[in-house]
Amino acid sequence: MRTIAQMGLILSVIALFMAFYTSGVTAQASSVSSASSTLNLNVKSAIAIDANTGQVLYDKNDKKALPIASMTKLLAIYIVLQEVHDGKLSWNQKVHVNQATAKLSKNTELTNVPLTTSETYTVKELYQASLIYSANAAVVALGNEISGSPHVFMTKMRQTAKKLGLNSAKLITASGITNGQAGSMGYSSLPKKDENTMSASDVAKLAQDLLKTYPEILKTTSTSTLTFDKGGASETKMTSWDLMLKGLSQYSANLPVDGLKTGSSTAAGANFVGTVKKNGHRIITVVMHAAYKSSTDPSRFVQTKKLMNWVYATYKPVTLKKGAQFAQSDTVSVPYGKQKTTTVAVGKNTTVWLAQNQSTARLKGKAHLKASVTEKKGLKAPLAAGTQVGTLNLKTDGQSFSFLNGGDTLNVPIQINHSLKRANWFVRTWRDIAGIF
């Protein structure tokens, strides 16, 4: 029989072990968050996400609505692309410019291509000018073509923002200029200094939806120079304000940025929502209110590079391949199957960003089955191999997950790798009887 002293020694050793183990797990789980706090981006707000899953890789004050300036144009362009895809607009459609829009295009305080009432411009030309050169009057002309007037188009923009879940958005102008700069196209009931605001997380969500729904936008946002209205009265050589594009001053070969949109104003400072695809995996970053000493101030791109490089140094993108299983995932019951249980597997290739010291071996999954393939709280048999049966909610004890939708688990489609056959009537009946007792 152990003495009291021996029992005390054993309990002390157990307590020391538990303290060491707990501190180790806590340290691992907090390693990424503590690293993010030392990044010290010189911006008011920022976020970095995986472009496909919306996994948040970095965030700083990302829920606070701030002025977004010309990043607004991404929402207007979303509507333009929607109209083109729906057949309501065509790229070669000729657009007439009214007097108010032509006057706006001559405002030298704003980025513009000059427009005249005596000439027409194609939807494609105005679209390119809006994205590449951030031409304010060009996007107004597109809004008028779609809705007939700036205020009706603004209603459409607000409805679209609500539909996309951009709940922080406050929208005054289609281009991102202030209410006062819009002149006669602004709102007489609102202060002249009013301008569009949105949170960094909602800007990232908008960019994510754009890239998923209309990936062709990258063909334009990756263009560093282009001539507007070539041979016409408004001919203008446009150079993108995204200085991280190839051939421009902030280009970096190890960060092949191909979009998306800048935005700057007195209230907004310098903003940039960028995207880069590296080693087959795309991320989206947003930096808001970087230094803005002049239109050529590179601060927003310096901070974006810092953020992008930090993401790639801190995380590794891991592809969970279709058909892969997890040792720590749920075993699923098959109440009326020949086999009473089965395992589930990844239903499609899915990317998860793990901290450099993590591995997929630490991932744990909880299965959530679709009602259409279940009976008696398990899988319905028979089912063919490869059938999608629900989702697997993945977590890891060494790293916390965060997603744009507010979730803390990675939801992966799941399938069964092997067919499930149904047990005969006698076996099914016996299981029902046994279940009662």
pLDDT tops 90 at residue 159: yes
Same domain for 141 and 225: yes
Same domain for 184 and 119: yes
pLDDT tops 70 at residue 385: yes
Q: Is 70 an annotated catalytic residue?
A: yes
**Total of domains in the chain:** 2
**Chain segment 398-437, per-residue pLDDT in tens:** 889 999 999 999 999 999 999 999 999 988 888 888 878 7
Question: Of 282, 315, 348, at which residue does a domain stop?
Answer: 315
The strand pair at 269-278 and 257-265 is best described as antiparallel
Same domain for 266 and 140: yes
Domain presence at residue 33: no
Cβ contact 72:295 at 8 Å: no
Give the pLDDT confidence score for residue 114 in this predicted structure. Answer: 96
Give the pLDDT confidence score for residue 437 in this predicted structure. Answer: 72
Give the pLDDT confidence score for residue 6 in this predicted structure. Answer: 44
Same domain for 268 and 154: yes
Report which DSSP code applies to 423. P
Same domain for 332 and 289: no
Same domain for 167 and 77: yes
Domain that holds residue 398: 321-434
Same domain for 299 and 328: no
Domain presence at residue 325: yes
Q: Is 294 an annotated catalytic residue?
A: no
Q: Is 222 an annotated catalytic residue?
A: no
Same domain for 298 and 204: yes
CATH number at residue 152: 3.40.710.10
The residue annotated as part of the active site, out of 36, 60, 73, 175, is: 73
The residue annotated as part of the active site, out of 36, 134, 199, 234, is: 134
Q: What global pTM score does this model have?
A: 0.87
**Chain segment 270-289, per-residue pLDDT in tens:** 999 999 999 899 999 999 99
CATH number at residue 423: 2.60.410.10
Rounded to an integer, what is the distance from CA 255 to the centroid of its chain?
Answer: 18
| CA separation for the pair 117, 340 (Å, rounded) | 75
Same domain for 111 and 195: yes
The residue annotated as part of the active site, out of 45, 70, 299, 329, is: 70
Same domain for 85 and 212: yes
Domain presence at residue 53: yes
Same domain for 260 and 171: yes
Percent of the chain with pLDDT over 70: 91
With 0-12 / 13-18 / 19 or more C-beta atoms within 10 angstroms meaning exposed / middle / buried, residue 42 is middle
Does 338 carry a binding-site annotation?
no
| CA separation for the pair 104, 312 (Å, rounded) | 42
Same domain for 137 and 191: yes
